[in-house]
Amino acid sequence: MGRADSSHYIALSEQRRMRGRPPVILEHAAMTQCELCHAQGEVVLWQNENCRVISVVDNDYPGFCRVVWQQHVKEMTDLKTDEQQKIMYVVFAVEQAIREVMQPDKINLASLGNVTPHLHWHVIPRYTDDRHFPNSVWGKPQRKLARLAFAERTPADWQTRLSMRIQQILN
């Protein structure tokens, strides 16, 4: 680290001290307030010691899953190389299961974490006539949902089928 870098770092840590909130305390506060560290009422489709797959409750997007790293880390590069491979292996298993069970026109994979900075991946089945297509599911809606078409192509037991298929792939 060059002199300019280290003095910059010291200046930053001084700023934090002046605010009375050193980085360690900030991180602790983030964990105690984190909705993924203190999740309630999740529908867990699969989990092991590293990560869990949850079914997102969203009437516009049945089949929407989230792969959550169990420990509170912020970024993919906070994981070791083998841990990065482990979470992506699960993400791709979920993608495969969703393709088979939900028969989407497209899969969206997203890792944002701006609101909840606890590492997680969204795995979302998309249809050309879904509410936001071709925008992201967080973008501007494009149309009202064609409920009938959605109900017709969505298996009633999709959660069970997804859970079973994810288990088959991963176990």
Which segment (45-53, 55-63, 117-125, 139-147) binds Zn ion by CB under 5 A?
117-125
- Using CB under 5 A as the binding rule, the residues of this chain from 16 to 55 that contact Zn ion are 34, 36-37
Q: How many residues would you count in the chain? A: 171
Binding residue count for Zn ion, defined by CB under 5 A? 5
Contact 87, 109 (CB under 8 A): no
Among 56, 60, 70, 72, binds Zn ion (CB under 5 A): 72
Which segment (4-12, 17-25, 67-75, 126-134) binds Zn ion by CB under 5 A?
67-75
Task: Considering the complex, state which of residue 84 and residue 135 has its C-beta at the smaller distance from Zn ion.
Answer: 84
Task: Considering the complex, state which of residue 36 and residue 65 has its C-beta at the smaller distance from Zn ion.
Answer: 36
Binding region for Zn ion (CB under 5 A): 34, 36-37, 72, 118
